[in-house]
Amino acid sequence: MSRAPYSHQEMVDAVVIGTGAGGAPLTARLAKAGLSVVALEAGRSFAPNDHVADELAADIYWMEERLSGGADPTAFGSNNSGMGVGGSTLHWGAFCPRPDARDLQLKSLTGQGADWPIPHAELIAYVEEVEAFTGVSGPADYPWDARRRYAYPPVPRNASADAMARGCEAMGITATDAPAALVSRDRDQPYWGQRQACVNCGTCHQGCRNAAKTSMDTSYLPFAVAHGAEVRSQARVLSFDLDHEGQITGVVYHQGGEERRQRCRAVFLCAGGVESPRLLLNLGLANSSGQVGRNFMAHVATQVWGRFDDEMRMNRGYPSSLITEDMMRPAEAGCAGGYLIQSLGVLPVNLATQLARGAGMWGTRLQSLLRQYNHMAGIGINGECLPHPDNRLTLSDETDAFGHRKARIDFSYHDNERAIDRHSRQVMTAIWEAAGAKDIFAIDRSAHTIGTCRMGGNGDEAVVDADGRSFDIANLWICDNSIFPSALAANPALTIMALSLRTADRFLALSKARAA
Amino acid sequence: MTQPSLVFLHALGASHREWDGVRADLSDIDGIALDLPGFGERKGEGYADVAAMADDLAGEIRRRRLTACILVGHSMGGKIATIVAARAAAGEVGLAGVVGVVLVAASPPCPEPMDEDRREQMIGWVADGAIGRADAETFVDANTATPLPEPLREKAIADVRRSSREAWLGWLERGSLEDWRARVGRVSIPALIVAGAEDGDLGEAAQRAHNLPHYPHAEVRSVEGAAHLIPYEQPQALARLIRAHVAAVASSALPAAFVAILGSDRVSRRTRTAMLERTRPVADAPAGWTAAERAIAAQLVAHILPEVEDMDGLAARVERAVNQGQGDGWRFAELPADAEAWTRGLATLDAVSGGFVALDHDAQANWLERIAEGQGGATDDERHLSPAQMVLWFQDVRAEIVRQWVALPATMAAIGYDGFAVGGDGPRKQGYSRTAATDVETWQQVRETMA
């Protein structure tokens, strides 16, 4: 095995594009198995100490322009993708419910959406491995899964969580401390160092300054590098070199003001639900199914807000410290799947823009609500979205600095999403009334980018197979939220990390079989 | 509104006493005049180099817990003021209260332009020890436009003579020659740069050439009837200029309790720098709006956030963000790029309302309601937006205006937000030990209303 750094002429076993939840775990896995791996990251590298506890100054988001269309345009920027070594795990909320078994068989059980070609038990085994490697804090007993255990005790609830617990109890809804991908005690992370216990600072979305939160740059990537992988930052992938059989022989990327290429035997495209399909569409590759960019799904992320007599100061503490899974299959709701409810703590700029956009406010009401920031608290959902032909990612005629056409994402709610939105507004409003909130109102919102390179059983309907391998290009693998066949109600990052380990195992098994 | 205090720094061969005349005219404003090591009351401390003098000043600001102050530096003291201002602007702990700088015939960050013969002559004055009376007289008379009246002249001469030999030599042979340009860089703190109309090496031309480039928010003023010892020569004129600068920067001063937290080690340097940067004035946007567009935008601010007093200032921040900013990572597919969307949106608003700015408040509000409901727009030509586009654009308008307002430290102070005071630069990060409702920690500020 040759050691990093690898020369461009060297034929490395794998190039991984993107170092977030999709790319990092498999980079670690492949390197551990002795493969030569180069991971390319568009953003720069950060130390935890570089992060800034300010909403406008935080610089860990993918801020290149995306065009958002449809009847319910979804917001990008700080709301979704990340940029930097670690990808979106730099800014993610660390809220990490596990995928529900019913959500993986949505089509079989409801006739709608799609099934996953992966057994739930197999996925959960990987989820548990991710949880063990990264360290998750959560309740001693998880009401919706008696066998589940978390390594660390939960972080303290904040005022929003206490209010939600109060409201849920009054309504007969079960709620508990949320599983959070952060450590509530100091932890020595192998090959990285000490991750300090969460200090309840509330700035997860601006980047964790003491590495309490699970982020790829303080977990899987240092493991990968210790096992011989190389991570190249500020390396923006432009195109692939193909041989006469259509297999990829090298990755062309922009770095340090010049075009470079890395020869390789396989490519893992892990750039996220927007950039992965966008790259393939720009290059006209891996799309004989016509499915690249289709099936775009964003979670219904409706929020309900209110004002409390008490001083809440919701910026304090882990933002999403309470969860209920009671609405995973709400009766009479008229939706295929269901939704999770979480307590919310958001910082002022986030709240302000949500009020101005999602609640359509301005004037005296807007300003007086913002002045009462310290008295406000909210709850929100993550609701399962179904694919729809109208909801897709296409290419705009406008190009970016690298000559690639920008992504245009059209997104509109349909019956299922409207049903979830309607039902959740009623439930959350009732919870908030029971909790003692006043001046209650709702905010329209959607979040996450899912499904644009769907995984499936055949190349007519899907972009990758059950292993995550392209039907068209034998040495191209995709691993991020783009391959999700259905959206799941659970927030995607934990599942992406689990899929990443599985993708590596499937790749290694296939290589072994071929060698034998 | 917080009234900033003044911190006076004297010149070579002077002491806090050189400011007596100026301070007499500013007695209603809090102020302190310091002696730098080796001068005045601190003659016995000998030589402190430039870095040590800057540390001395920074230490004084911290020790006194100054939460809104303007550094006023004369000649040698000006170089020290600039260096400390640069450290404050770069987010150093405990210096968040430096809101303004006044340079008086100030020595610049670069090696001070000084006639070499004169330097040699002044060095020669201490060849045998203390500065003699005749040499001190020469020094004072050479640096004034006309001889100072008594007892001022006698006072100035006495201060020259009570400079320590080491400090005198240290400045002439080393301190004045040290090059601090790279360390100082650009200082975003608003500055007033004062030159004596009859000064030599440090006159207006030198101030423009050597000090002004370090201050993007600065104005230069020349004082008639003064050479280099302006505080002695024209104390009233100088006091008037300083008073105007105090008034100009007072609006950017933050409540004391807020600055105490912002300056504390609970806040990381990057966070503090970013927040302080937002307290500075917005320079004219080079590729921005016309005056007419600015006026409409200011009116929009008044509707989105009725309590904002400085509508023009907030509109200027929006203008900068829209025209020069990185954007927020996305835009509505139905709208053109942000800068163009704003230009067209403003034009459309003005066209459909028949001149938005001239309308009374209720009529303006009525138009905004109609636009939000999709009933206000033009045909989608290359200069206007359609009613459907106006709905989206007006959403962008609300979001951008409110985003810029909420991100202002003054707004954070007004709403009692202290979430920036977490994760400082130490080995263990600060957060919150109490997270439940009503349970507030002692370090957290009390709510303060915005003036």
- Residue A507 has phi, psi (to 5 degrees) of -65, -45
Residues 6+ away with beta carbon under 8 Å from A349: A55, A56, B403, B406, B407
Find, among B386, B269, B70, B79, the residue nearest to A50 by Cα: B269
Cβ of B416 within 8 Å of Cβ of A374? The answer is yes
* Same-domain status, B210 and B122: yes
Global ipTM: 0.96
Q: Which three-class secondary structure state does DSSP give residue B415?
A: helix
- Mean pLDDT (whole number) for A224-232: 98
Question: In whole angstroms, what is the distance from residue B284 CA to residue B400 CA?
Answer: 19
Alpha helices in A268-414 (DSSP H): 272-283, 348-357, 364-371
A300 close contact with B: CB closer than 8 A? no
* Same-domain status, B66 and B140: yes
By Cβ distance, the residue of B307, B330, B334 closest to A75 is B330
Nearest CA in chain B to A52: B271
Domain-embedded: residue B44? yes
* Same-domain status, B224 and B322: no
By Cβ distance, the residue of A54, A363, A373 closest to B306 is A363
Nearest CA in chain B to A357: B395
| Residue type for position A66 | R
CA atoms within 13 A on the CB side of A149: 4
Other residues' Cβ atoms within 10 Å of the Cβ of residue B44: 8
Q: Roughly how many angstroms between the first and final C-alpha of chain A, as a whole number?
A: 19
Q: Which domain CATH number covers A470?
A: 3.50.50.60
Domain-embedded: residue B442? no
Interval B218-256: pLDDT, tens: 999 999 999 999 999 999 999 999 999 999 999 888 999
Cβ of A202 within 8 Å of Cβ of B419? The answer is yes
Interval A36-75: pLDDT, tens: 999 999 999 999 999 999 999 999 999 999 999 999 999 9
Q: Which two tokens stand for residue B291?
A: 């005056």
Residues in B touching A395 (Cβ below 8 Å): none
Cβ of B330 within 8 Å of Cβ of A68? The answer is yes
Domain-embedded: residue B117? yes
Residues 6+ away with beta carbon under 8 Å from A480: A18, A20, A21, A22, A23, A269, A270, A271, A272, A273, A276, A496
Domain-embedded: residue A3? no
Distance from CA of B402 to the nearest CA of A (A): 6
Interval A109-125: pLDDT, tens: 999 999 999 999 999 99
Max CA distance (Å), chain B:
88
Domain-embedded: residue B131? yes
Domain-embedded: residue A307? yes
Q: Which residue has the tokens 């601010």?
A: B301
CB proximity under 8 Å: A 115-154 to B: none
A361 close contact with B: CB closer than 8 A? yes
A76 close contact with B: CB closer than 8 A? yes
| Residue type for position A482 | S
- Check pLDDT > 90 for residue B1: no
Distance from CA of A416 to the nearest CA of B (A): 24
**DSSP classification of residue A469:** B
Interval B386-440: pLDDT, tens: 999 999 999 999 999 999 999 999 999 999 999 999 999 999 999 999 999 999 9
Q: Which pLDDT value is given to residue B449?
A: 41
Q: Which pLDDT value is given to residue A1?
A: 46
Question: In whole angstroms, what is the distance from residue A207 CA to residue A60 CA?
Answer: 8
- Check pLDDT > 60 for residue A274: yes
Nearest CA in chain A to B338: A65
Structural domain count, chain B: 2
Domain of residue A450, residue span: 14-50+61-515
Nearest CA in chain B to A207: B423
| Residue type for position B169 | L
Question: In whole angstroms, what is the distance from residue A423 CA to residue A428 CA?
Answer: 9
Q: Which pLDDT value is given to residue A516?
A: 80
* Same-domain status, B239 and B322: no
CB proximity under 8 Å: A 12-41 to B: none
- Paired strand residues for A68: A409, B332
pLDDT band at residue B447, thresholds of 50, 70 and 90?
A: very low
Question: In whole angstroms, what is the distance from residue A174 CA to residue A183 CA?
Answer: 24
Cβ of B432 within 8 Å of Cβ of A159? The answer is no
Domain-embedded: residue A360? yes
Cβ of A373 within 8 Å of Cβ of B417? The answer is yes
- The length of chain A in residues reads 516
**DSSP classification of residue B184:** H
- Check pLDDT > 60 for residue A487: yes
Structural domain count, chain A: 1
Residues in A touching B332 (Cβ below 8 Å): 67-69, 73
Q: Which domain CATH number covers B155?
A: 3.40.50.1820
Q: Which of A206, A208, A209 to mutate to test the interface with B (most CBs of B within 10 A)?
A: A209
Question: In whole angstroms, what is the distance from residue A240 CA to residue B48 CA?
Answer: 62
In this prediction, what percent of chain A has a pLDDT beyond 90?
Answer: 97
Q: Roughly how many angstroms between the first and final C-alpha of chain B, as a whole number?
A: 5
Q: Which of A362, A373, A390, A399 to mutate to test the interface with B (most CBs of B within 10 A)?
A: A362
Residues in A touching B327 (Cβ below 8 Å): 63, 65, 77
A386 close contact with B: CB closer than 8 A? no
Find, among A189, A251, A202, A232, the residue nearest to A350 by Cα: A202
- Residue B343 has phi, psi (to 5 degrees) of -60, -45
Cis peptide before B216 (omega within 30 of 0): no
Q: Which three-class secondary structure state does DSSP give residue A264?
A: strand
- Check pLDDT > 80 for residue B285: no
A177 close contact with B: CB closer than 8 A? no
Q: Which pLDDT value is given to residue B144?
A: 97
Find, among A443, A357, A71, the residue nearest to B398 by Cα: A357
Q: Which pLDDT value is given to residue A515?
A: 85
- Residue B304 has phi, psi (to 5 degrees) of -70, -45
Residues in B touching A51 (Cβ below 8 Å): 423
Interval B146-168: pLDDT, tens: 999 999 999 999 999 999 999 99
Q: Which of B267, B429, B444, B450 to mutate to test the interface with A (most CBs of A within 10 A)?
A: B429
- DSSP3 helix / strand / coil % (chain B, rounded to 5): 50, 10, 45
In this prediction, what percent of chain B has a pLDDT beyond 70?
Answer: 97
Question: In whole angstroms, what is the distance from residue A354 CA to residue A361 CA?
Answer: 9
Other residues' Cβ atoms within 10 Å of the Cβ of residue B186: 11
Question: In whole angstroms, what is the distance from residue A426 CA to residue A442 CA?
Answer: 10
* Same-domain status, B226 and B343: no
Radius of gyration of chain A (CA): 22
Q: Which pLDDT value is given to residue B284?
A: 65
Interval A390-437: pLDDT, tens: 999 999 999 999 999 999 999 999 999 999 999 999 999 999 999 999
Cβ of A348 within 8 Å of Cβ of B435? The answer is no
Question: In whole angstroms, what is the distance from residue B157 CA to residue A147 CA?
Answer: 87
Domain-embedded: residue B260? no
Distance from CA of B335 to the nearest CA of A (A): 9
A353 close contact with B: CB closer than 8 A? yes
CB proximity under 8 Å: A 387-426 to B: 396, 408, 410
Find, among B192, B278, B269, B194, the residue nearest to B231 by Cα: B194
- Residue A95 has phi, psi (to 5 degrees) of -75, 115
Whole-number average pLDDT of chain B: 94
- DSSP3 helix / strand / coil % (chain A, rounded to 5): 30, 25, 50
Question: In whole angstroms, what is the distance from residue B40 CA to residue B13 CA?
Answer: 8
Interface A-B: count of C-beta contacts within 8 A: 199
Q: Which pLDDT value is given to residue B451?
A: 34
Q: Which two tokens stand for residue A433?
A: 């009334």
Q: Which three-class secondary structure state does DSSP give residue A247?
A: coil
Distance from CA of A308 to the nearest CA of B (A): 10
Distance from CA of B330 to the nearest CA of A (A): 4
Instruction: Sort A371 into a burial class: Cβ within 10 Å, 0-12 / 13-18 / 19+.
Output: middle
Interval B322-362: pLDDT, tens: 998 778 899 999 999 999 999 999 999 999 999 999 999 99
Cβ of B399 within 8 Å of Cβ of A353? The answer is yes
| Residue type for position B36 | L
By Cβ distance, the residue of B399, B415, B432 closest to A370 is B415
Domain-embedded: residue B417? no
Cβ of A360 within 8 Å of Cβ of B275? The answer is no
Q: Which three-class secondary structure state does DSSP give residue B32?
A: strand
Domain of residue B123, residue span: 5-250
Residues in A touching B434 (Cβ below 8 Å): 316
A314 close contact with B: CB closer than 8 A? no
Domain-embedded: residue B111? yes
Domain-embedded: residue A56? no
C-alpha to C-alpha distances, A6 to A35, A37, A227, A269, nearest whole angstrom: 12, 9, 13, 19
Contact, A447 vs A220, CB < 8 A? Answer: no
- Mean pLDDT (whole number) for A238-254: 97
Residues in B touching A373 (Cβ below 8 Å): 415-417
Domain-embedded: residue B440? no
Distance from CA of A309 to the nearest CA of B (A): 10
Interval B3-18: pLDDT, tens: 899 999 999 999 999 9
Cβ of A366 within 8 Å of Cβ of B398? The answer is yes
Whole-number average pLDDT of chain A: 97
Residues in A touching B407 (Cβ below 8 Å): 54-56, 348-349
pLDDT band at residue B450, thresholds of 50, 70 and 90?
A: very low
* Same-domain status, B234 and B162: yes
Q: Which of B406, B418, B433 to mutate to test the interface with A (most CBs of A within 10 A)?
A: B406
